[in-house]
Every structure is written in C-alpha cells, then in structure tokens.
Amino acid sequence: MFGFVVRRLISALLVLFVISVAVVALFTYGPSDPADAMCPEPKCTAERQDAIREALNLEAPIYVQYGEYMSGIVNGREIAFGSESYDCDAPCFGVSFIYRVNVWDDIKDRIGPTVSVAVGAGVTILLIGVPIGMFAARRRGSSADKAVIGATLVIESIPYYLFVLLAFLYLAVGAGIFPQDGYQPLTDSPLKWAWALLLPWLALGLVNSSKYARFTRGSMIEAFNEDYVRTARSKGLPERTIVNKHALRAAVVPIVTIFGLDFGALLTGTIFTEKIFGINGLGLRALDAVGQSDLPVIEATTLISAVIIVITNLVVDLFYSVLDPRVRLS
C-alpha cells in the first residue's frame, strides 16, 4: 500500500508541474499580450507597453519566469508595472491588471463557495443516483425498472444550465420556496449556508444523478450474476446482506472512478450555477477575468482548479485501492 501511495503522489506532483509550466508559458506566449491586456492602446503608448514588458520580465527565458512565479507563491515578491510597484505577499499569484490587488486576496474568498457547491452537489448525486440504481437493478425487467430508465434518459437529455435556470425561476423566484440570497458563509451560520445552497445542490444533483442511476443499475446486475453472490444466496443469507455487503461493494468500484472524474468537472463547471444563483465563486471570477483579459487572475484560477482536481483524483485513487486491493498491484 505504501508503494502505491508513493507512486500516486509522484504522478500527482508531475501532473501539477506540467500544468504549472503550461500556465506560465501561456501567460507569456499566449495570444493575448500581457502588456496590452494591462494597458491597452491608445491608453498607453508603445513605449509605455515596452516598459511594462520589461518590468514584468517577459523577455526572460521561460524557466526564469517559472522560477520567479513559483518563488512568489512560496515567499512573495515585488511586482513592478512600469513606474508602479506592488508588494505581493505569499502566496503571490500576481497582481490583477484590472483592480491592482493581490490576486490571492481577490480570489481566496471565492474558493469556499465553489467547493461548497461541488461537494454538496456530489453528495446529492450519490444519494439520489445510487439508491435509484439499486432499486432498478433488484427489479430488472419490471415496469418500475423501465420507468426509472426512461426517467433518467429524459432528465439527462435536458441541458444542465437550462434545468438549473428553470429550477431557479420557478422554485426560487416564482414560488419563493427557496432563497435567492446567493451564498452564505459556513462560518456565519451552517444552517443558512445549507439552506442557501440547497436548491443548487438539488438541481445539479438531479441532473447528474440520472447517469449514476444507470451506472449503478448495470454494475449491480453484473454483480448479481457473479458466483460469490449466487453462493451467498444458496447459503440462505438475507437479501439485504447480499445486496449491501456483497453486490454493492463490487458495483461501487466503477462508480467511484466515474465520480472522481465528474467531481473535477463539477469544480470547474459550476460557472452557470454560480451565475444563475448569484454565488461569487471561483468559476464566476474566472469568467469575469476572461472577459476583462485579466491574465493573472486567469492564471491563478486555472492553477488552483488544477490543484483541487489533482488532489481529488488522488483521494479517489486511494479510496479505489481500498475497495479493490488488486489496484495496488497494477
């Protein structure tokens, strides 16, 4: 197990290294000129933009720029924009071109809302999708099974942003069942935090749980046909024990793998949800930064999202190895 964990940690660090190099390279060599994005013409003359490029050290080799960026994250650094200079405390992801503030100070309070939406939606997906899939698998071929499969296909055919928008308009704005206040910090009131996010969780959970119901159904049916399940039935074990202890443990392995990938997509794909429900999350800030060509914010949000996704996948890999010990030997 120790060797498996070490291999996964090394792989995760290599992935983060490649992503961080790519992020820094895109900042320098991407289609948008950082000097022009910070001070576009005719506001700034060509001489002024050249001074900004020199201050940002954009002419230096990529490995020098990468070293400065990583050093700033750990130790902080001083960033000069021509005649202007800013003290950027660690972790320093740069200074916003638009607001002239430390990027970390700008986005750190937005990580919590995004993670809250993603975690709550992920739990909702599993709580809805897995039991429904188990229900359908135990009644394979019945009218209830066919109704479940049909309903999941209908729900999955609806674009998630449309489903979320309709849920907000009808249940929050129209009926007033759910609040429209946006995000409430968990530290202020856990109850208000959960109540404010309940509708986003339910909307995202219902849309994405449909495929988990089908995945669970297929995996459970396959597990029911295994020899060890038939042996358990022949020994007279209770059906609940057979389903929950034997069949479900085998069926949940591929579900965990899929959930790890989907959870990363939830973390980076909640932009529409944050926009519709007025949640000031990381995705919404990244969207605004793209519209404003605020490159340091784009750079930081991309890197932070990558770190969260890599850590999530690492946890999923470790959990996967616990469920299926054969993975440790692969």
Nearest one of 324, 321, 290, 240 to 3, comparing CA atoms: 321
> What does the pLDDT look like over 249-300, one tens digit per residue?
778 888 888 888 788 778 776 788 888 888 888 888 888 888 888 888 888 9
Q: Residue 96: is its pLDDT beyond 80?
A: yes
Mean pLDDT is lowest, of 63-77, 281-295, 312-326, for: 312-326
Name the phi and psi angles at 231, rounded to 5: -65, -40
CA 286 distance to own-chain centroid: 13
> What does the pLDDT look like over 111-156, one tens digit per residue?
889 889 999 999 999 999 999 998 998 888 899 889 988 998 898 8
Banded model confidence at residue 83, pLDDT cuts 50, 70, 90: low
| pLDDT, the chain, mean | 84
* Residues 202/206/211/213 CA torsion (nearest 10 deg): 90
Structure tokens at 117: 């939406």
Range 189-194 average pLDDT: 90
Banded model confidence at residue 327, pLDDT cuts 50, 70, 90: low
Alpha helix ranges (H) inside the chain: 2-29, 34-38, 46-55, 62-75, 103-138, 143-156, 160-167, 190-224, 227-234, 239-241, 248-268, 271-277, 282-292, 295-323
Range 172-201 average pLDDT: 88
Q: Residue 328: is its pLDDT beyond 60?
A: no
Contact yes or no for 242/229 (Cβ under 8 A): yes
Bigger pLDDT: 46 vs 186: 186
Q: How far is CA 174 from CA 22, 170, 171, 180, in A?
A: 45, 5, 6, 11
* The predicted structure's pLDDT at residue 80: 74
* The predicted structure's pLDDT at residue 193: 92
Range 184-200 average pLDDT: 89
> What does the pLDDT look like over 219-258, one tens digit per residue?
888 888 888 888 888 888 888 888 887 788 778 888 888 8
Structure tokens at 12: 């995760």
Q: Residue 198: is its pLDDT beyond 90?
A: yes
Range 176-182 average pLDDT: 84
Bigger pLDDT: 214 vs 249: 214
* The predicted structure's pLDDT at residue 326: 60
Nearest one of 110, 113, 107, 112 to 95, comparing CA atoms: 107
Q: Residue 330: is its pLDDT beyond 60?
A: no
> For domain 107-328, which CATH number applies: 2.60.40.420, 3.40.50.300, 1.10.3720.10, 3.40.109.10?
1.10.3720.10
Give the helix/strand (H/E) hosting 87. strand 84-88
pTM, two decimals, is 0.82
* The predicted structure's pLDDT at residue 132: 92
Q: Residue 164: is its pLDDT beyond 80?
A: yes
Instruction: Classify the C-alpha dihedral 56-60-61-66 as positive or negative.
Output: negative
Q: Spell out the domain ranges in the chain.
A: 1-92, 107-328
* The predicted structure's pLDDT at residue 24: 87
Give the helix/strand (H/E) hosting 97. none
Range 188-204 average pLDDT: 91
Q: Residue 202: is its pLDDT beyond 80?
A: yes
Q: What angle do CA 291, 296, 301 make, to 5 degrees?
A: 80
* The predicted structure's pLDDT at residue 325: 64
Banded model confidence at residue 101, pLDDT cuts 50, 70, 90: confident
Length of the chain: 330
CA distance 282 to 188: 20
Q: What angle do CA 112, 282, 272 make, to 5 degrees?
A: 110
* The predicted structure's pLDDT at residue 87: 83
